[in-house]
């Protein structure tokens, strides 16, 4: 158990030396202790506003909450919407999605995801910023792989876990991570939130703080705050104002276009019917079937499911028309499904599964990729994000894009070695992306 008194902030020049008071108590995982507490509070003084239209509050109070349920959905979602903008609205950052993860036992202390979200309030108790944050005892469910970093820590006699993880659990989707209301002093609030994150990491004596799948803008800004930069790669489909699926196919090279058409014909040849369901069209029986399909995938691929049956029911009821469930039927029986969420300009493909009793050739491609493309065209969405990994997506019109993560390591000895590794890794990732794009499935001149 640790206790820490007053300390100084390391925020940027736009913020005065703050008047601060902080107390932190941390009791970490151990063989003889299952409990965990993480308390943090700090007050910052903001400079006067140069805007004549808005009044800057004199103080900003930072605290940690142990559940998103301690924050009202309206206040949290206002931060989310202002941070992303309506066009780039990200459904995974909503109170509905994140609270479903907590309330159904997915992202909780017992699974190694202890919520410790950061909340910033002004003097009138208005919430001006939030950060989804978790204290973690492992590296599963992140999709930015750092197991070798943990090994490096242990080889030097240090511990890597617990660590702080700023992310959406189990969700490799890019979006803002420091969610700030759109005020005239939002840049100062950003600096304060980053300072609070770093202070929390230091005073709780964790090894590190990781911000995974942030926006590109946050990624650049965090470099100046002492974070190491890392890049990764995903495969996304871009809508070039297509009127229908056939028009999209006409942008493909002949051999690729022919293969896709052949794959799609095999679906009807197997007496399969594809349906896209939204909101009220998705019944409890659909979620029960989908959970069974999801378990088939996890049992075969990962060995342990991250999500519970109750999560799908709860998330579906809260998010309504933001959920798109693609299902495949043989006769009157559901045999497969693919879960998507609809954002401001993007369809996010997340999970897939099928009945374990029968193998249906090409059904995975149809449910996850082709149905998603058709839905995006129909809904006039700009992008389909098809999730992590999968080079097979390229030949079906999904091209590589860069993803980002930021890493704040407390131990300078290991920090330098990892920084050198990340430079080499970035060079390799950029080279692979170029090679894939140069040999892509589209006609010359189409990227």
Evaluate whether residue 445 is within a structural domain: no
What pLDDT does 20 receive? 31
State yes or no: pLDDT of 349 exceeds 70.
Answer: yes
Mean pLDDT of the chain: 89
Which one of 3-7, 33-37, 273-277, 435-439 scores highest in mean pLDDT?
273-277
Residue 163's pLDDT band, with cuts at 50, 70 and 90, is very high
pLDDT at position 49 over 90: no
Residue 50's pLDDT band (cuts 50, 70, 90) = low
Q: Stretch 283-288: mean pLDDT, rounded? A: 98
pLDDT digits (tens, 9 = 90+) for 360-385: 999 999 999 999 999 999 999 999 99
Does any domain span residue 410? yes
Say if residue 192 is in the same domain as residue 272. no
β strands within 331-372, DSSP E: 333-342, 346-354
Name 115's Cβ contacts closer than 8 Å, sequence gap at least 6. Answer: 65, 66, 67, 68, 102, 107, 108, 109, 133, 134
Q: Establish if 394 belongs to a structural domain.
A: no
Beta bridge mates, 6: none
Determine, yes or no, domain membership for 275. yes
Query: Does 140 or 40 have the greater pLDDT score?
Result: 140
Q: How confident is the model at residue 387 (pLDDT cuts 50, 70, 90)?
A: confident
Residues 263 and 125 in one domain: no
78 lies in some domain: yes
- Same domain? For 116 and 265 the reply is no
> 224 with 247, same domain?
no
CATH code assigned at 258:
3.40.630.30
* Domains held by the chain: number: 2
For residues 42 and 181, state if they share a domain: yes
Comparison of pLDDT for 129 and 446, the residue scoring more: 129
Q: Which of 55-64, 71-80, 181-190 has the highest mean pLDDT?
A: 71-80
Residue 301 has pLDDT above 50, yes or no: yes
Tell me, yes or no, whether 373 lies in a domain: yes
Is pLDDT above 80 for 18?
Answer: no
Do 203 and 346 sit in the same domain of this protein? no
> Same domain, yes or no, for 218 and 336?
no
> 6 vs 243, which has greater pLDDT?
243
77 lies in the same domain as 212: yes
For position 14, what pLDDT does the model report? 32
In sequence order, what DSSP letters do the residues of 92-159 get, joined into one string? GGSHHHHHHHHHTTSSSGGGTEEE-EEEEE-TT--EEEEE-EEEESS-TT-SS--HHHHHHHHHTT--
- Name the nearest CA neighbour of 328 among 302, 359, 299, 306: 359
Evaluate whether residue 143 is within a structural domain.
yes
Whether residue 100 is predicted with pLDDT greater than 50 in this model: the reply is: yes
Specify whether 244 is located in the same domain as 228: no
Residue 16 domain-assigned? no
- Percent of the chain residues topping a pLDDT of 90: 81
| Residue 207 sits in the same domain as residue 151 | yes
One domain for residues 250 and 214: no
Range of the domain at 46: 25-233+403-435
Question: How many CA atoms within 13 Å lie on the side-chain side of 3?
Answer: 0
Q: Decide the pairing of beta strands 59-65 and 127-131.
A: unpaired
Looking at the structure, do residues 222 and 284 belong to the same domain, yes or no?
no
């Amino acid at each position: 158990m640790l206790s820490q008194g007053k300390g100084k902030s390391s925020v940027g020049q736009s913020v005065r030396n703050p008047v601060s008071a902080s107390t932190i108590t941390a009791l970490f995982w151990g063989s003889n202790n299952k409990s965990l507490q993480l308390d943090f509070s700090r007050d910052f003084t903001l400079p006067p506003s140069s805007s004549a239209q808005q009044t800057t509050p004199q103080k900003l109070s930072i605290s940690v909450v142990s559940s998103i349920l301690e924050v009202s959905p309206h206040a949290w979602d206002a931060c989310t919407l202002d941070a992303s903008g309506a066009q780039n609205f990200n459904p995974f950052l909503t109170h509905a999605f994140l609270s479903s993860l907590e309330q159904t036992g997915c992202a909780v202390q017992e699974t190694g995801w202890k919520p410790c979200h950061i909340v910033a309030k002004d003097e009138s108790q208005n919430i001006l910023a939030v950060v989804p944050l978790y204290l973690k005892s492992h590296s599963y469910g992140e999709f930015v792989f750092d197991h070798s970093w943990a090994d490096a820590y242990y080889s030097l006699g240090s511990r890597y876990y617990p660590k702080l993880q700023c992310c959406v659990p189990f969700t490799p989707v890019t979006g803002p991570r420091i969610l700030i209301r759109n005020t005239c002093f939002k840049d100062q609030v950003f600096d304060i939130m980053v300072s609070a994150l770093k202070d929390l990491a230091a005073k709780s004596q964790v090894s590190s703080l990781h911000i995974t799948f942030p926006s590109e803008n946050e990624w650049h800004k965090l470099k100046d705050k002492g974070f190491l930069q890392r890049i990764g790669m995903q495969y996304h489909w871009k809508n070039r104002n297509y009127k229908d699926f056939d028009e999209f196919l006409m942008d493909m090279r002949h051999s690729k276009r022919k293969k896709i058409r052949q794959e799609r014909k095999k679906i009807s040849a197997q007496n399969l019917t594809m349906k896209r369901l939204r909101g009220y069209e998705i019944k409890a029986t659909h979620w029960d079937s989908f959970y069974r399909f999801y378990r088939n995938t996890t049992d075969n691929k990962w060995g342990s499911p991250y999500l519970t049956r109750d999560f799908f029911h709860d998330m579906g009821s809260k998010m309504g028309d933001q959920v798109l469930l693609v299902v495949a039927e043989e006769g009157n029986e559901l045999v497969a499904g693919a879960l998507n969420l609809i954002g401001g300009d993007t369809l996010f493909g997340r999970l897939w599964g099928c009945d374990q009793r029968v193998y249906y050739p090409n059904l995975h491609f149809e449910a996850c990729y082709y149905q998603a493309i058709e839905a995006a065209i129909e809904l006039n969405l700009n992008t389909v994000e098809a999730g992590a990994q999968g080079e097979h997506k390229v030949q079906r019109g999904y091209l590589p894009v860069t993803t980002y993560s930021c890493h704040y390591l407390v131990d300078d000895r290991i920090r330098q070695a990892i920084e050198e590794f990340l430079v080499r890794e970035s060079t390799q990732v950029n080279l692979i992306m170029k090679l894939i794009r140069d040999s892509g499935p589209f006609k010359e001149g189409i990227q």
